Amino acid sequence: MTYLNTIDFAKSLDEQDPLKAFRSKFFIPQHEGKDTVYFTGNSLGLQPKSTASYIQQELNDWAQYGVEGHFHAKHPWLSYHEIFPKLLSPIVGALEEELVVMNQLTVNLHLLMVSFYRPTQQRYKIICEAKAFPSDQYALESQVKFHGYAYEEAVVEVAPREGEHTIRLEDILSTVEQHRDSVALVLFGGVNYYTGQLFDMPTITQAAHKAGAICGFDLAHAAGNVELKLHDWEVDFACWCSYKYLNSGPGGVSGAFVHQKHIANDSLQRFAGWWGYKKADRFKMDKGFEPIPTAEGWQLSNAPVLSMAAHKASLDIFEEAGFDRLIAKGKLLSGYLHFVLNGINESQTAKAIEIITPTNEAERGCQVSMLMLKDGKQLFDELMRQGVIADWREPNVIRVAPVPLYNSFEDVWKFGNIISGLIG
């Protein structure tokens, strides 16, 4: 694709976009009576216009049936969560039995580590990315402490090299190799939240397994953003939130994946609750926990139906759009953003922006992280005043994510036009 930085070109791409009708399925936040350029779908996805009616359905059923809604609601609450594996399976590349929607992301990370971080005297280390999302860092720290280790003793961080922003695959692989006798778990983000770097998950998984370790991923910034094949890659476990690219509302429910090879292994340690108990006998309330032999066996509590209704509203839109088509548009859209920003940079005598997200399409999703070389915060504040919703990360990074479901090529052009006005 040869791009041009003109509004007519952007509009013509929008015209040809097979997914253009999907933008009107979302509420676009307004600024002075006009649509904002909403580039923070990586942080909180927009609200589908259909969400209210999905939640209203459950409120109506609750009003009409009370407790009987567990059986008689349009989507009976007893089995409400069973709707999701089919909808999520094309998005994360998993078998239905490997998927469950429950709790929230950090909670699921802990629950899965209870099963999959089982340190022994010989193998106790966790290899992870340096500058992981803070919640993940705290989760790791508290997990290793829970098992009696100090952070520095048990957690090995792989960092970018001096003067670089992203982590080299070869450095991840050599770290795993170097700790091959002592590593218990390799745990990475699928896409780093700060730089937008997409890690080579199949290769990392292979390396972890070769070293005799378990491999898990936090897919908060990957689910709904990039192609995933968790089953085929033989990832052991993964979890993600639903409120970023998956548009399911603030604090929405999380998804979890446990590979087929582990789901029926009831010798795995886990923290259990009644909703993970084998379904036929759940209500007998017998002593002795017997897990459902699917990812559902990790559930603790009954389904939070109201937030799950919001999740369903969004996933039904993903199904209608088709995930392959979304990925294809996402690549064009972020390719266009890279083109526009690079053009602006080249027109400057001194470079004002350094893009720290990899340019290689195989190493990124929608997000572009811009390291601002001067007056970054001022520029960011000015963007917000001109109706761009972006995200500021200390000390000097602006993150933007044009997402294929509701962002347009015109959004990208507008953004570039505003930026060049500000730094020109």
Ligand X SMILES: *Cc1c(COP(=O)(O)O)cnc(C)c1O
Which of 17, 61, 136, 296 contacts ligand X by CB under 6 A? Answer: 136
Our CB check for ligand X shows the closer of 106 and 386 to be: 106
Please give the single-letter amino acid code of residue 13. L
Residue 217 binds to ligand X (criterion: CB under 6 A): no
* Least distance to ligand X, CB of residue 139, Å: 8
Our CB check for ligand X shows the closer of 97 and 157 to be: 157
* Least distance to ligand X, CB of residue 317, Å: 21
State how far the Cα of 262 lies from the Cα of 269, in Å rounded to an integer. Answer: 11
User: Which residues inside 187-206 make contact with ligand X, applying CB under 6 A?
Assistant: 189, 193
* Token duo for residue 314: 């969004």
In Å, what is the CA distance from 314 to each residue of 49, 205, 271, 308? 10, 30, 30, 10
* Least distance to ligand X, CB of residue 46, Å: 16
Please give the single-letter amino acid code of residue 94. A
State how far the Cα of 113 lies from the Cα of 103, in Å rounded to an integer. Answer: 15
Question: Which of the stretches 75-83, 146-154, 217-225, 297-305 binds ligand X when contact is defined by CB under 6 A?
Answer: 217-225
Which of 221, 259, 329, 414 contacts ligand X by CB under 6 A? Answer: 221
User: Which residues inside 115-134 make contact with ligand X, applying CB under 6 A?
Assistant: 133
Count of positions on this chain that bind ligand X (CB under 6 A): 12
State how far the Cα of 253 lies from the Cα of 303, in Å rounded to an integer. Answer: 9
| x/- letters, 394..423, toward ligand X (CB under 6 A) | ------------------------------
| x/- letters, 227..266, toward ligand X (CB under 6 A) | --------------x-------------------------
* Least distance to ligand X, CB of residue 242, Å: 9
Which of 19, 44, 214, 220 contacts ligand X by CB under 6 A? Answer: 220
User: Which residues inside 162-191 make contact with ligand X, applying CB under 6 A?
Assistant: 189
State how far the Cα of 219 lies from the Cα of 257, in Å rounded to an integer. Answer: 10
Question: Which of the stretches 7-15, 80-88, 101-109, 153-161 binds ligand X when contact is defined by CB under 6 A?
Answer: 101-109
User: Which residues inside 339-398 make contact with ligand X, applying CB under 6 A?
Assistant: none
Residue 363's nearest CA partner among 217, 128, 197, 228 is 197
Count Cβ atoms below 10 Å from residue 311 Cβ, excluding itself: 28
Question: Which of the stretches 19-27, 175-183, 218-226, 281-289 binds ligand X when contact is defined by CB under 6 A?
Answer: 218-226
* Least distance to ligand X, CB of residue 241, Å: 4
* Least distance to ligand X, CB of residue 323, Å: 20
Residue 395, preceding peptide bond in cis (omega within 30° of 0): yes
Which of 47, 106, 195, 197 contacts ligand X by CB under 6 A? Answer: 106
**Which residues contact ligand X by CB under 6 A?**
104-106, 133, 135-136, 189, 193, 218, 220-221, 241
